[in-house]
Structure 1
């Protein structure tokens, strides 16, 4: 029996998921998704999976905030969103973020994107994480850029508006 390190296994998984996601993207574009679902033994019978997914989905708020996290959590509650379904990664912590963590993410439905460092780990030759996500929208959660005064900035009032543009919020509205 061959043994693999945890890093090798993680690399295998990443490559396999990337290949499957690419296969799904091609199937969607060429209208043969049913064949792919059949290939993997997946059937879609009702809307129940979407309801369950909203309980697990999270909104990632990435970048420096103009206020305190608690104020943003209050704004989320006012929109009917459980603050536990929102993860905040500030500017400093974004420096340690690996872009691969977001690629084909099952953890996040959306990214509300504010000011972040241009370079993070795992983004290859792309000039910034924002560019990487914009250039590959099918590989990343829905991107919502937070602007105030023509620059990336996550204000509390803007945040409340951005929440209503998320897939998470749309899924909640369809419950």
Structure 2
């Protein structure tokens, strides 16, 4: 196994609990948006507005045109599968970026890891190769003008 894959496997284990929490939040958000979209479409009052306004509001209710296209015509199982697959893809990309940064700084193996969880994410401290300390901070973000919950991850190698 290559060094980068070894590091990525360690990161996957490290992030597993938080990744599951975020994926569950994304699925919950998607189900809420799909239900709101269905409710909007079933309201006969909404059909009275002009077509442009109708779709503009429908896309806003769905969380954007892309999410509308995802929700429209799919059942809950399909939506959950797609959202979880998307979440896993984002996690894999994040782990690859972190692993590449660690490899660039000369880290080839994670020898020890300590994790401190907090309400809005977590902080992890890796001791690697016996002499480097890697700090990974993850915060959950979402709020004004952000469509759904996601992670912001900061990595510092000393």
Structure with the bigger percentage of helix = 2
- The structure that has the greater radius of gyration is 2
TM-score, length basis structure 2: 0.26
TM-score, length basis structure 1: 0.24
